[in-house]
A and B are shown apart, each in its own frame.
Chain A
Amino acid sequence: MNYHWNWGIFFETSPDGVHTYLETLLLGTGWTLATALSAWCLALVMGSLVGVIRTTPNPWLVRLGNAYVELFRNIPLLVQMFLWYFVLPELLPTAAGDWLKQLPDASFYTAVVSLGFYTSARVAEQVRAGILSLARGQGWAALALGLTRTQAYLYVLLPMAYRVILPPLTSEFLNIIKNSAVALTIGLMELTARARAMQEFTFQVFEAFTAATVIYIVINIVVTFGMRWIERRTSVPGFIGAAPAAAATH
């Protein structure tokens, strides 16, 4: 092999003149985490809403929820990002479109919105499966006690459903971190984009990608253990939830 290894490259100053290459990678990690966490909040809220309306008795709400899930699940994430980034500003009234395009960090906001909606469809599937996995008597008992349907969901069904679906939600959270790398196509300087930039400036391909890979693995391990800790902390004694079966992912 005629490849020249140079692991010292991480401590050399990057073209921005201030940070070393290692620091630029860590800054990228920050963007990756910021994007993934913000998008995760959006995904949880939208996914829970859509998941819940798919379990209501109203057939039109169920159809609406199904359509939402199918729409966001059957278009590749990259295409969805392009739609939000390139197409949406053109379809809005001119003033609003121009405002969107001139927004500082536009690629960050776009990445958060597209990742959030894309993942929300998957979260909705899990939330629905979680609610349906509960004994049907629980919902009826809540209604019989005089709770409204909203209260029954908020105090009885959702708290148990979230515990049941914690393991699949963990893998969705890991997915959203990994999927945030797609945002490099709309110019977000997250971890993979920084590694790519480092490779372009220094030609040290394998060092740059090895560093990014190691950082992703560390994030993965930390999240996995963190979620296991949450799982233990939130588990209800005597209640063993059957997690929904494994499905095709990422």
Chain B
Amino acid sequence: MFADFDFDVIIRSLPYLFYDGMTFTLMLTALATCGGIIFGTLLAMMRLSGAAPLSLLAAGYVNLMRSVPLVLVIFWFYFLVPFIGQWVTGASQPIQVGAFASSLVTFTLFEAAYFAEIMRAGIQSIPRGQVGAAQALGMTYLQTMGYIVLPQAFRNMLPVLLTQTIVLFQDTSLVYVLSITDFLGAASKVAQRDGRLVEMYLFAALVYFVISFVASLLVRGLQRRVAIIR
């Protein structure tokens, strides 16, 4: 069963797996999380703004993204981004977009829908009285949000936001469908080149498991320390 298990193929491909593959995965995770949280917070603010068109637009976007599989969204944007780029830059041809840029746009826009729901819960967890007090002090909407509501909402939702980031980290493996060399893509390329599927996929699973598990333990530790302000 494990008699001809070849550890050497893993060791030989470590630089490729981590330098080429894992760098891509982690960069994509980090940038998409930042972009997703920013855009998601905007969506949540739109949804709670009380202005019907804004709120409907945000709700429609979030519900659309949440009812479609990520794989389909990845395909959508892979073909759509060149046309969007053409429209934005006013070029005559659909522009060439690299694998990284395309996946970054996809994951930012897709995860923003999930981050928006988390931030909406966060904003709603702040008592209305605080908003009223801020307005009574003469603060504008942006000041109220920026100085009173959002800092507390972020703090309250930090564990959930980080857990969603772990989910996002695992989701980035789906860029495999575009034959991109992320961590899993790199493992898969070595596996197929050397005919070592068992070793490479078990090793990939182990690496994903260790990273996600350790990260989720850290989040749990943080959750105990960050008290919910009510």
Contacts and interface: CB of A to CB of B under 8 A. Distances in A.
Contact of B71 (A1, A71, A181, A213): A181
Interface stretch (A17-25, A46-54, A85-93, A150-158): A85-93
* Interface size class of chain B, counting residues whose CB lies under 8 Å from the partner chain: 35 or more
B201 A76 contact: no
B96 to A, nearest CB: 15
A79 B201 contact: yes
B interface secondary structure, majority:
helix
Contacts of B69: 178-182, 192, 216
Given A83-B202, A220-B67, A192 B167 contact: no
A250 B167 contact: yes
Contacts, number: 125
B209 interface: yes
A217 B173 CA distance: 24
Contact of B83 (A3, A70, A195, A249): A3
Interface of B: 1-2, 64, 67-72, 75-76, 79-80, 83, 86-87, 93-94, 114, 117-118, 121, 160, 163-164, 166-167, 170-171, 173-174, 176-177, 184, 188, 197-198, 201-202, 204-205, 208-209, 212-213, 216
Interface of A: 1-3, 70-71, 73-80, 82-83, 86-87, 90-91, 174, 178-182, 184-185, 192, 195-196, 199, 205-206, 209, 212-213, 216-217, 220, 246-250
Given A248-B163, A250-B114, 6 more contacts: A79-B173, A174-B67, A178-B67, A178-B68, A178-B69, A209-B72
3 tightest A-B CB contacts, nearest first: A181-B69, A74-B212, A76-B170
